[in-house]
Amino acid sequence: MQHHSKIDQIDEAVKNDIQELQKRIQDYHLGREDEERFKLYRLTRGVYGQRQTGVQMFRTKIPFGKITSQQLIRLADISEKYATGNLHLTTRQNVQFHYVKLNDSPAIWADLAEAGLTAREACGNTVRNITASAKAGIDPNELFDVSPYVQASFEFFLRNPICQEMGRKIKPAFSSSDHDSAFTYFHDFGFIPRLKEENGQQVKGFKLVVGGGLGAVSMVAHPVYDFIPTDQIIPFMEAAIRVFDRYGEREKRMKARMKFLIQKLGLSTFLELIETERKGLAKQSVPIDDSIVPTLIPIKKNITPAKATHPEEFEKWLASNTFQQKQSAFYAVQIRVPRGDIHAKTARQLAAIVQELAADDIRITVNQGLLLRFIQPELLPNVFNRLREIGLAAPGFDSIADITACPGTDTCALGVTNSTGLAEVLEAVIEQEYPHLILENNLKIKISGCMNSCGQHMAANIGFHGSSIKKRPLVIPAMQIVLGGGVDEYGKGFIAEKVIKLPTKRIPDALRLLLDDYASKAQEGEYFNDYYYRLGKIYFYDLLKPLAQIDVQDPHIFQDWGQEEAYQQEIGVGECAGVTLDVVSTILQDAHQKLSFAAKAIQLGDFADGIYHAYSSFVIGAKALLLSEDIKCNTHIKILDDFQTHYIDTEKFELSNPFPEHVLRMKQNKPTADFAKAYLEDAVHFFEQVQHIRQQQLAEANGEDKVVIENYYKA
């Protein structure tokens, strides 16, 4: 295993992360750590198992997609040294590497850390990367720059004990304006800027929505506040995540997102529970300093303007890939990156262009592209010429020709069909047969390799997700077609509707049918979604149904795009979704570890963190004894109630107060030093009693430990 020579120059918290990752990998190789437990750990460090055995996908975590030219160069270096030389840009504004060896991940971490980047909590049941409009800070329609609020939220939740081991992930997003270019409507937390006048002063705040999500059951987020002051966004999220952590489902993974908890409790009850949590927060107000993300002061480039080498292409590129910033003396350039893949060599060439002609602030966009900012208008031909030389000057950024696609069966274990191969084919259909649509940016196509929506197909006007059709004895690769999703010109969000499933080789013909029908049946200037909902789902089912006819004599129908052999469905188990076996003694070790974390946090003066670690120890200790009696544990609140029923009420465990009340004092008291120390003392005493009871159980079982189901353990 490699040890990075410059690790001592890295921030202490990051250094600890790297050293812990090294040790856990060693323990895993030596058989000291169970595979499923190690999986849950490595996911929170950005290391995700691929479809291919023995290699990993490694994901970075880049708040609002902002990187510098030097960071882009570092990412290119890492990919060439440890991966395939490709940088894959994601819909969550991250960069992923593929075919990474597990043993190389600590060295990648160190290289990232030196460049000011991280992979902490990039995967797993954590607060994932916080996304934002790529135009933030230069958007002509914005009320203010949301970037500092994203950065502050990112820093607050990074390594925060409340969100390291949740039942499922949390995804926040910040849009720069009401156009909702960050798709807040399908996020767990969504923020859109607002200004309010108070005492003659303009006060910044946000419209807040909660509980949206894509996937197999997509939901539009619920509006909560028309205006929440900026100092309240972090306390609200913290309290909401505490509620989610305590009440959220953990056994049934497909029902474990925040949207399902709100559906189960009702929005009003969910908000009431959030209010009850607020007293236990360390800070009731978290003011955010706008200077946390420095404002760029552009310097005029003393460069001779060039003439565009290909004037006709330049005009298309100018119309579709550039816009005038709110800083009217400058333009931004948007770069179309097919399928989000950019080679390391190209990335370095792009970094050189940025250093010469733009501000040193590159944004990864939510549609897998890139955005450059603060370019002098007279230098746009220079930028075009240079981008064209490296293959990054294709027009049609964020148009129907700029198709979003997840990696699908290329690398993902959950992939059912090949999304990237289909995207390439459909882009060719648009460019060759419908070239007039290359500048059409009110019509979007998105593709996911499965129903989980990493390609955000449910937020597309025309979307596809991987599926299959059984035609015994063979299986036909297919795509479920969904229509009517996305954001209209007024910022209204739509969730697409499932219309019909077709063989994947028929999808190009399906696209042709849809585009031709739209051209002939749409009313003057009618938005695609209005056209779709006006005619209705049955109309489109009937339109596309002839393509569903199966001719078993056609060998191509049994092949997926990019494959020459017959399709074989190979769906793996997604990471975080596995079931394994564990033992109660291991769970008790986790409870003891939480006590150690609590003591250390309190010693450092982080009383709220210490209290939450102690709370976790209570829950895990109670869970261990419940599992020893085969009592399912699917939520924290159920663990507290069931421990009362099965241990306190039956007098197997002595406690003067009701157990839920005893544990949940942490949300009724301010996190003072005195309360933190007293609460930890109670948690230690509880753990000692749990250990004593467990020893009695083992004695009665002749020392044989209890095997339990991992799904229950996850609670």
Based on the fold, state whether residues 441 and 588 are members of the same structural domain.
Answer: no
Q: Does the pLDDT of residue 4 top 50, yes or no?
A: no
Spatial contact of 119 and 112, defined as CB atoms under 8 Å apart: yes
Range 10-24 average pLDDT:
91
Domain boundary among 504, 527, 558: 558
Based on the fold, state whether residues 363 and 492 are members of the same structural domain.
Answer: no
- State the CB neighbour count (10 A cutoff) for residue 289: 9
- pTM metric for this prediction: 0.92
pLDDT of 587: 87
Domain boundary among 345, 366, 389: 389
33: which 2 tokens? Answer: 């750590």
Based on the fold, state whether residues 638 and 550 are members of the same structural domain.
Answer: no
Cα–Cα nearest to 8, from 20, 22, 19: 19
Q: What is the average pLDDT score of the chain?
A: 91
The position carrying tokens 């990232």 is: 112
In a domain, 70, yes or no: no
pLDDT of 572: 53
Q: Could you check whether the bond before residue 473 is cis, i.e. omega within 30 degrees of 0?
A: yes
Based on the fold, state whether residues 426 and 449 are members of the same structural domain.
Answer: yes
pLDDT of 475: 84
**Distance, C-alpha 466 to centroid of its chain:** 20
In a domain, 415, yes or no: yes
Q: Does the pLDDT of residue 415 top 80, yes or no?
A: no
Q: Does the pLDDT of residue 413 top 80, yes or no?
A: no
pLDDT of 427: 95
35-44 pLDDT, tens digit each: 878 888 899 9
Based on the fold, state whether residues 693 and 607 are members of the same structural domain.
Answer: yes
231-265 pLDDT, tens digit each: 999 999 999 999 999 999 988 878 889 999 999 99
Range 329-340 average pLDDT:
96
Distance, CA of 25 to CA of 19 (rounded, Å): 10
274-299 pLDDT, tens digit each: 999 999 999 999 999 999 998 888 88
Burial bucket for residue 554 (CB in 10 Å: 0-12, 13-18, 19+):
exposed
Q: Does the pLDDT of residue 714 top 70, yes or no?
A: no
pLDDT of 583: 77
Based on the fold, state whether residues 461 and 324 are members of the same structural domain.
Answer: no
579: which 2 tokens? Answer: 């079931």
pLDDT of 712: 56
Based on the fold, state whether residues 135 and 280 are members of the same structural domain.
Answer: yes
Based on the fold, state whether residues 410 and 536 are members of the same structural domain.
Answer: yes
Spatial contact of 183 and 141, defined as CB atoms under 8 Å apart: no
Higher local confidence (pLDDT), 583 or 402: 402
pLDDT of 254: 82
Q: How confident is the model at residue 573 (pLDDT cuts 50, 70, 90)?
A: low
Based on the fold, state whether residues 284 and 148 are members of the same structural domain.
Answer: yes
Alpha helices per DSSP H over 331-399: 344-357, 380-389
Distance, CA of 567 to CA of 572 (rounded, Å): 15
pLDDT of 76: 98
pLDDT of 570: 59
Are β-strands 445-448 and 404-405 bridged in parallel, bridged antiparallel, or unpaired?
parallel
State whether residue 617 is helix, strand or coil.
helix
Spatial contact of 456 and 404, defined as CB atoms under 8 Å apart: yes
298-314 pLDDT, tens digit each: 888 889 999 999 999 99
pLDDT of 580: 42
Residues 6+ away with beta carbon under 8 Å from 358: 333, 372, 373, 374, 375, 383
User: How many alpha carbons lie under 13 Å from residue 469 in its C-beta half-sphere?
Assistant: 22
In a domain, 473, yes or no: yes
In a domain, 302, yes or no: no
In a domain, 67, yes or no: no
CATH of the domain at 442: 3.30.413.10
Which structural domain, as residue segments, surrounds residue 414?
404-558
In a domain, 440, yes or no: yes
Higher local confidence (pLDDT), 601 or 252: 601
Residues 6+ away with beta carbon under 8 Å from 473: none
Domain boundary among 292, 319, 335: 292
In a domain, 571, yes or no: no
Percent of the chain with pLDDT over 70: 95
pLDDT of 537: 96
Based on the fold, state whether residues 528 and 655 are members of the same structural domain.
Answer: no
Q: Does the pLDDT of residue 512 top 60, yes or no?
A: yes
pLDDT of 579: 39
For the chain, the helix, strand and coil percentages under 3-state DSSP, each to the nearest 5: 45, 15, 40
CATH of the domain at 375: 3.30.70.3340
Based on the fold, state whether residues 329 and 477 are members of the same structural domain.
Answer: no
Q: Does the pLDDT of residue 160 top 80, yes or no?
A: yes
Pick from 132-141, 563-572, 637-646: least confident: 563-572
Q: How confident is the model at residue 100 (pLDDT cuts 50, 70, 90)?
A: very high
Counted domains in the chain = 5
Phi/psi-derived region of residue 306, left when phi > 0, alpha when psi is between -120 and 50, beta in every other case: beta
Q: How confident is the model at residue 215 (pLDDT cuts 50, 70, 90)?
A: confident
pLDDT of 577: 39
Q: How confident is the model at residue 578 (pLDDT cuts 50, 70, 90)?
A: very low
Q: Does the pLDDT of residue 706 top 80, yes or no?
A: no
Based on the fold, state whether residues 359 and 282 are members of the same structural domain.
Answer: no
Cα–Cα nearest to 464, from 518, 492, 505, 493: 505
In a domain, 120, yes or no: no
pLDDT of 454: 87
